[in-house]
Copies of this chain bind each other. A is one copy, B any other.
Amino acid sequence: MIRRHKGDFTWTDVPILPYKEDGTLFKDITRQTLFEGSEQFGLELRYFEIGPGGHSTLEQHDHEHVVMIIRGTGRVLVGDTVSEIGTNDIVHVPTQTWHQFRATDDSPLGFLCVVKTDRDRPRRPGPEDLADLNTIPVASEFIRF
């Protein structure tokens, strides 16, 4: 099966969907599922694109992510570290690790994300989590929630 790129990070027969529909705080993101998994190969390949100045939800979960940036630039919080990221950089998000992606103000941030089909739901930070994150200056400055 070939899933063909139509240009501008859109693909034939792949709908452009909202990032989430659960009321979680995020800003200006779309989601496209490029590979939906199969019976014996239980993983999904998704493409997320964050518009300039936008961000993903601050969350953690048991399942891991492998992410590859394929468009633009931004920054990412993983655990207690904020890193600049750009095209072709790889990000691994370990289990139960706070993470949030942000696009730079003048550039989108587009990335591939590989996850297992069978995965737990993300958890958002509660007041104690936020108090902990706020003890880390780089995280405190970075997070949006």
Interchain CA distance A43-B114 in the complex, whole Å = 9
Size of the chain A interface, CB-CB below 8 angstroms: 35
Chain A facing B: main interface SS: strand
Total identical chains: 2
**A92 & B9 in contact (Cβ 8 Å cutoff):** no
The segment from A20-28, A34-42, A123-131 found at the interface with B is A34-42
Question: How far apart are A73's CB and chain B's nearest CB, in angstroms?
Answer: 12
With contact pairs A1-B91, A78-B1, A91-B2 given, residues A41 and B116 touching in the complex (Cβ less than 8 Å): yes
Q: Are A88 and B66 in contact (CB under 8 A)?
A: no
Whether, in the assembled complex, A86 has its beta carbon less than 8 Å from a beta carbon of chain B, the answer is yes
- Contact surface of A with B, Cβ cutoff 8 Å: 1-5, 9, 11, 34-35, 38, 40-41, 43, 45, 63-64, 66, 68, 70, 76, 78, 83, 85-92, 94-95, 112, 114, 116
